[in-house]
Amino acid sequence: MRFDTKIGIVVRADLAVWQKLNVTAFLASGVAGGGPEVMGEPYADGSGNHYLAMFRQPVLVYAADGPGLAAAHARALARGLEVALYTEELFKTDNDEDNRAAVRVVPSDELCLVGLAVHGPRNGVDKVLKGLALHP
């Protein structure tokens, strides 16, 4: 099935594996929180157990270096796409309020990005992520 929208997550390639997984999970939650249109319906198994809803479409995960992340970030903002971000400073905080405060004090062109997620029209997301390789 081909979707009109796309979800792409980019993580900085030089992070430790645990950091890549953590950043990816946080960024995915940002996309999920962006609006109900990205979420499918809850699941249930044949025994009557209920499970949380998940994205209604695939999520592609890419790897990039710092400049690649910065370029994708700038393109996403210029296109007005929904963006979630994770900065290096967030590894040093331990709660949501401090996370937002750490981002709020840094101008967008000076953010030390370690990951970002974008959601939007397929062609727009493709242009934002152009040149980035899928994460191995």
| pLDDT confidence of residue 34 | 85
What confidence tens digit (pLDDT) does each residue in 7-64 have? Answer: 999 999 999 999 999 999 999 999 999 877 899 999 999 999 999 999 999 999 999 9
| pLDDT confidence of residue 15 | 97
How confident is the prediction for the chain on average, in pLDDT?
Answer: 95
Q: In what order do the strands lie in the sheet with 82-87?
A: 82-87, 113-121, 5-12, 59-64, 133-134
Residue 3: DSSP 8-state: -
**Range with the lowest mean pLDDT among 25-39, 73-87, 96-110?**
25-39
